[in-house]
Amino acid sequence: MKTTALTPCRIAWVGKRYLPEWNPSLLEKNCRTSEMFLTTKQNTPLNSSLKYEAERTSKLQVTETVHKRFPKTMPYISESFNKCSIVGSSGILLNSTCGQSIDSSDFVVRFNLAHVQKFAKDVGSRTDLITCNPGLMKLMYGSLSREGSKRFTAFLKREYPKATLLFPAFTYHFSSKPSFRAQDALKKQRYNVVYLHPLHHMMVKKFWKSQKVDEVRISSGLMLFTSMMSFCKEVHLYGYWPFAEDVDGNPLHYHYFDEKAIMLSSEKLKKRIHNMPAEFDKYRSWHNKGAIRLHVGHCTVP
């Protein structure tokens, strides 16, 4: 399958030529992904405490009940992924026909319960890891009561039958309970639930601040991009497009799966906690230096 990867700045793929300042090992050195990406029994001992990433004065005591929720060691560390695709939710994916290209990957990451099956031709259907914002989950499924849990599991079975769910359970103190509740609700359904380690989150934020990405909070897209660079030989980004128009000036939906979601005004964008354009500039730079593939055009099947 042949794919295109052009942006309004006419980015062109220049091949693999890792320059020292763009070497992915720099991310591993600063963010310790292979050791701290997810919360495990190994990096978070019993009776230790977890400091919440966004509430530095708040801590969670790792009791036996909490500790048993974590995997013993870091998942994915022993895997060898040649091609990983990280799929954002930008409307630029509509009519892209990138689904086959995405599904041909060894590992696919998605965000915040984005719908896929109805849009599989453009976004693919394979999902290995998907982030789940506790606040969004509460908005969609309440507190996972009996009825909410039923709808939640039905949605997951339809959209992501084999995915692992990644919760930022230790960002704020109020993120832990709904994340744990989701894990309990999915236990019988054999879904795997993992938690982002708050220390890794802090290190990633610190690294990108040193790279002049100035924002209140880094996005989930930047967080997972950073992490996957340590696990994957090739990283491909799809749907990472923070603009209201495509390369030809055509208006876009904010999310490919939601026609009602619209782009924020320039004034409102300034008040957001994420600085998507600044993040995009970094993806573009990494693309131009041959470290990643940034796909924002159409994917064509020969």
Query: Catalytic residue positions?
Result: 274
Q: How far apart are CA 297 and CA 160, in angstroms?
A: 25
CA–CA distances in Å: residue 256 to residues 89, 116, 151, 171, 217: 6, 10, 22, 27, 23
CA dist 155 and 173 (Å) reads 27
Asked if 79 and 53 count as a contact pair (C-beta separation under 8 A), the reply is: no
Length of the chain: 302
Both structure tokens of 233: 């030989």
- Using alpha carbons, list the distances in angstroms from residue 41 to 66, 68, 158, 294, 296: 10, 8, 31, 35, 39
CB 21 within 8 A of CB 286: no
| C-alpha–C-alpha distance, residues 276 and 291, integer Å | 20
What are 214's two structure tokens?
């100035």
Q: In b/e form, how buried is each residue of 219-239, taking b as 16+ CB within 10 angstroms?
A: bbbbbbbbbbbbbbeebbbbb
Task: Identify the residue whose tokens are 């320059």.
Answer: 19
What is d(CA 174, CA 53) in angstroms, rounded to the nearest whole number? 12
